[in-house]
A = this chain, B = another copy of it.
Amino acid sequence: MNLVVKKFGGSSLASVEKIEQIADRLVEEQKKGERSLVVLSAMFGYTDSLIKMAHQIYPNYLGPAYDILLSSGEQISVALLSLALEKRAVKNKVLLAHQAGIQTSSFFSKAEIESIDTTKLENLLKEGYLPLVAGFQGITKDNQITTLGRGGSDLTAVALSASLKAEVCKIYTDVTGVFTADPRIYPSAIKIKELGFSEMMEMASLGSKVLQIRCVELASKSKVNIQVLHSSKKEEGTWIINKKETGMEGSVVSAIAHDLNTLVIKLTNTSSEIEFHSKLFSALGRESVFIDMISQSTHKEKSSLSFSIPHTDLTQTLKVLKDFVKEEDISIIDQAVKISVVGVGMAQHCGVAGRFFSALSQVKTQIYLLTTSEIKISAIIPEKNLKETVRVLHKEFFNF
């Protein structure tokens, strides 16, 4: 089907004026003969204010009522855009969770899409309607509303693109695309024309906020081409596609990502027994602590263990640690940042690690933790060295 799925995020929907702008854009594109399906998030700030009310009443509750509450945000967005399209005499139809055929698991607040019945959507498209689907929400087999978790509207858009075999899934955001580094940290960074799915997945997991990893994963699995675009600036954006490893001619590294939501826990005088590690990390797992990088070293029968976690998991982590180590053996490094270079080209190129280290050595930065994979190298370094490190890495891998 010659169809374009378009997803607009909260910042593109921050006001009535912005909603009217989207309507204008859709009219224009329809005049050019483009057949679209629109997926919307909640208006900017709306979901957060609902979460706040929910937490005031019952903190940490996650069940059906929470999802019913949160799904109202997307409902409002689609209704308002529908009003704007009605005013412009565009034949359109709103579809909420129970109408769009998106069936999910019943894991409330983090439901997974299980199947999509596209019959209704296909009929609407055939009849010339512009369907407006409330993102982020689905419905269980027994007719209960669910939500898909953070970034859930992107997931809705990609899942519908896959089911309807859309040409492309356009994700409209408040940035013009994915950049070689965060432009707020390194203003010379440039927009990337195209990225492979695996690169984008790594970047999402390494701190790039542009797309959530679940959405890229699904796009990769179902071969949905994504275009990341700015919602009002008319620029080409970044394509996320099934990219072949670039050969000699391509660049080795596609982008430099960083993530400030990281801190390092260092334990000294630990046992080097594998059983100790197994028990410790199992206990942390039970408390839902997300462990990112781990490093262990033994020196003259004394062992030490470092690992990184998100800031938000610190309380839980310390609760677990007190059963395993003495307080004086725990140090917390919270002024840290994870910096990564990502690129499918790395798999074919030797010496990337060498170049990475030689760049870092120019900054004379300490490295707390380090990991590598086929297509990325990550290091956790002191936060104060972030800017300078991004600069030298960018220079090393992009020559500017």
User: Contact residues of A with B, CB < 8 Å?
Assistant: 16, 19-20, 50, 53-54, 56-58, 61, 63-66, 68-69, 71-72, 75-76, 78-80, 82-84, 86-87, 93-94, 96, 98-99, 143, 145
- Considering the complex of A and B, which 4 residue pairs feature the smallest CB-CB distances, nearest first? A69-B79, A65-B82, A68-B79, A58-B87
A57-B16, A86-B63, A87-B58 given; A80·B69 CB < 8 A: yes
Establish whether residues B53 and A65, one from each chain, have CB atoms under 8 Å apart when the complex forms.
Answer: no
Given the complex, which residues of B lie within 8 Å of A84, measured CB to CB?
A: 57-58
Copy count, this protein chain: 2
Q: How far is the CA of A78 from the CA of B50 in the complex (A)?
A: 13
| Complex CA distance for A262 and B72, rounded to whole angstroms | 38
The answer to whether A76 touches B72, judged by C-beta atoms less than 8 angstroms apart, is: yes
A145 to chain B: which residues have CB within 8 Å? 96
A68 to B71 alpha-carbon distance, docked (Å): 12
Could you say which residues of chain B place their CB within 8 Å of the CB of A94?
64-65, 68
Query: Residue on B with the closest CB to A74?
Result: B72
Inter-chain contact B69/A83, CB cutoff 8 Å: yes
Q: What are 24 A-B pairs at a CB distance below 8 A?
A: A16-B53, A16-B56, A19-B57, A53-B80, A54-B79, A54-B80, A57-B87, A58-B84, A58-B86, A61-B86, A64-B82, A64-B93, A65-B78, A65-B82, A65-B86, A65-B94, A68-B78, A68-B82, A71-B75, A72-B72, A72-B75, A72-B76, A72-B79, A75-B75
A75-B68 contact given A16-B56, A143-B99, CB 8 Å threshold: yes
Contact B66 A83 (CB under 8 A): yes
* A54: contacting residue among B69, B83, B96, CB under 8 A: B83
Check A76/B83 contact, CB under 8 A, given A98-B98, A99-B143.
Answer: no
Q: In the complex, which residue of chain B has the Cβ closest to the Cβ of A20?
A: B57
Given contacts A20-B57, A57-B16, are A65 and B50 in contact (CB under 8 A)?
no
In the complex, the chain B residue whose C-beta lies closest to that of A79 is B69
Chain B positions within 8 Å of A64 at CB level = 82, 93-94
